[in-house]
Amino acid sequence: MSFLEQNPERYFPKTGYSQQEVLGKLDELKTEMVPVDGGRFGMYSLKGNEEIQNIIEQAALKFFSFNALFTFMNKPAGQIEDDLVEMIREVFHGSDDMRANFTTGGSESIYCAMKAMRDWARQEMPHIEEPEIIMPYSAHSAFSRGGKYFGIKIVRTPVAEDNRVDIEATKAAINENTIGLVGSAPCWPYGVYDRIEELSDIATEKGLWLHVDACVGGYLAPFVKKAGYDLPYWDFTVPGVRSISADMHKYGYAPKPMSTVLYRGGDEQFHHYTVVDDWPCGPYFTQSLGGSRTFASTAGAWAVMNFLGEEGYVKNAKRIMTIKQMLIDGLAECEDLNTWKTDLSLLIIDSPTLDITKVVGGMGQRGWSLLGNAEPASIHLAIDPITDEQVEAMIRDFKEVVEEIKAGNDQAEGSLAYSGGQGTGYAPKWVKQVIEMLPAKLGK
């Protein structure tokens, strides 16, 4: 029973509950939540390592009430940010002039880069009144949302047969309104790297801005490479790359929300900012799109990077790639499931014989909350450094679900969508309201 059900006549209690009641209710609700951050989900978590989880949480708690808007007024907080930037510079092979800004997530990092690209184009290409950015169909949805926010036309080109950017299609899409190109490292839907070096050649030749979206793999790929795996070049070692988005709260293991947008140099970062002075308090500018933001995530990121060090990140990278291969090998024994060839930690699973939504539903009944792709229908796993026992349990459950479906046993159909998906089947009011409006908004 929720607090509202205890007192259904009003939402906001007239008299507050006791501390014990409030915290007790939160503990009760937390135990009922689907573990979408580690556990039986697998989403950029080190929750299996209590020592690491403890230092992240303790670091965040020390600064949870500090507003990161005011790091310019607090030297220690500013030092933490400066330390992080220097570590990040080494990870992404940036020059001494590389710049970085902290954001709340991959979407905001992408928005910031798009805003910088647009403002740069206004300076460098003033004749363009209707700017366009070209990207493959597989690029993150945040680019389309950002296009609506910033008045930029998003041109998505079909991907090649290997699900990577089609270079010829990209060249064909460039016109007099093109201001930039986008490539992913890797893309979220298919888990493969776009041809960043070839995009760099085009951007350099045409004088365009190239942004690389490395939100999912930016803080993993450098350590996977150090662990001996072969990966393509994609960061600031590629000369045409002007900006990169990369999430620290993914494989950087920082507490959410924590992402970064990186710029090759000060010339690019200058366009990141929106400086205003048309009010009584003088010039005003912020780290990213928002104003106030938590410093807890920044402190947690600083703590985990210093605690793990390069060796710790390489160790986790090796473990992740080992687990990926374990899953591939284990699922290969099931002819009704097919794993795709991917480049990093994402594993895509489809079925040549079964309705994959029923596989998702059956796995959901066993406690695995899985995401997926709607086109083509497939399961999408983001692999964590979990235990062998957890890997074996997942493989075993996949096989059992497949056999039950083939035997004709009823399986709940699971959703492959991001909104109103698995979990407990509950969707908050705002999700329901949006879903109700979708047909009219999308013209369907």
pLDDT at res. 304? 95
**How many angstroms separate the CA atoms of 382 and 256, rounded?**
16
φ, ψ dihedrals at 144, nearest 5° = -65, -40
111, two tokens: 């928005």
Q: What is the pLDDT of residues 241-286, one digit of tens each?
A: 999 999 999 999 998 999 999 999 999 999 999 988 888 988 888 8
Which of 199-208, 369-378, 398-407 is the least confident region?
A: 369-378
**How many angstroms separate the CA atoms of 41 and 339, rounded?**
18
Query: Higher pLDDT residue, 67 or 377?
Result: 377
- How many other CB atoms sit within 10 Å of the CB of residue 205? 10
Distances (CA, A) of 428 to 25, 90, 317, 421, 435: 18, 42, 36, 12, 11
pLDDT at res. 5? 59
**CB-CB contact of 381 with 42 (8 Å):** yes
Record the pTM.
0.89
Residue percentage of the chain with pLDDT more than 70? 88
pLDDT averaged over every residue in the chain = 89
**CB-CB contact of 47 with 38 (8 Å):** yes
Using 50, 70 and 90 to split pLDDT, how confident is the model at 411?
Answer: low
Q: Which domains does the chain have, with CATH numbers?
A: 59-305 (3.40.640.10)
Q: What is the pLDDT of residues 108-144, one digit of tens each?
A: 999 999 999 999 999 999 999 999 999 999 999 999 9
